[in-house]
Amino acid sequence: MTYSEEKKSGVVCFEEVNQIGILTIDNGSQNKIPQPDFLDLSFLKEWISEQRLKGLIITGKGRHFSAGADVDNIRANKDNPGYLREALKKGRDILNYIESLPIITVAAISGICFGAGLEIALSCQFRIGTANALLAFPESNIGIMPGLTGTIRLSRIVGKSKALEIIITGRTINGEESYSLGLVDKIVPNKTHLSAAVQFINELTKNKSHQQIRSIIQSVNKSAVEKDAIAMEYESEMFLKLVENI
């Protein structure tokens, strides 16, 4: 296999292996997301433009995908809504860019995938999880809600009523249930999530041209992205109102 030189922006490492980009969240044992704009979007766009990728994988270093946002940082900035609003917009822009990419995108999930981590995973077209994967939006347990497009993308994938139940209760969903809900597309043995994601992309793109893949994905993406823009703005405003009281 041919590996490119590893690069880093924010808490994410960038690497290319045989026309597959791998973004690895690397921030301590739980890979927490310190702020919504967890990487430099201009850096990501430049890196993507330099590659000829057929797919992109987002994963976490070590045992966990990501334990989610750094709540202490949110509390520290709750009296500065202007900063939080701008950070949320930048975070949304990152996830919207990932969702709009005209290549196959896969979140390779192991262990904990909570809050902002789950929102990042939901921006991918597919999610592959290990048997020990645990997914949740625990924000309601501290009096807030997802603020990085989680309410929109989760309801789009599992339906409105199930999304409401998952977000309001803040309960943890194991690998088996996440698969039955369609939240995860495939469950694989522990420690095989990254290799399974690579294999999945290779199988899906086999004997397909870059132009064919791009055309199909762009057509599928178009309506969803345009329809959700207003809802994403509203989610951010509701998030900021709740942050005032934590």
In Å, what is the CA distance from 159 to each residue of 49, 183, 198, 210? 34, 10, 28, 32
Full DSSP string of the chain: --BPPPEEETTEEEEEETTEEEEEE-STTTT-BSSS--S-HHHHHHHHHHS--SEEEEEESTT-SB--B-HHHHHHTTT-HHHHHHHHHHHHHHHHHHHH-SSEEEEEE-SEEEHHHHHHHHTSSEEEEETT-EEE-GGGGGT----SSHHHHHHHHH-HHHHHHHHHH---EEHHHHHHHTSSSEEE-TT-HHHHHHHHHHHHHTT--HHHHHHHHHHHHHHHHHHHHHHHHHHHHHHHHHHTT-
Give the pair of three-digit tokens for residue 67: 């334990």
For this structure, is 226 an active site residue? no
Catalytic residue among 15, 119, 177, 235: 119
The residues, any chain, with a CB within 8 Å of residue 91's CB and separated by 6 or more, are 35, 36, 37, 38, 116, 148
* Per annotation, catalytic residue among 46, 139, 235, 237: 139
Active site residue 139: yes
Q: Would you name the residues annotated as active-site residues?
A: 119, 139
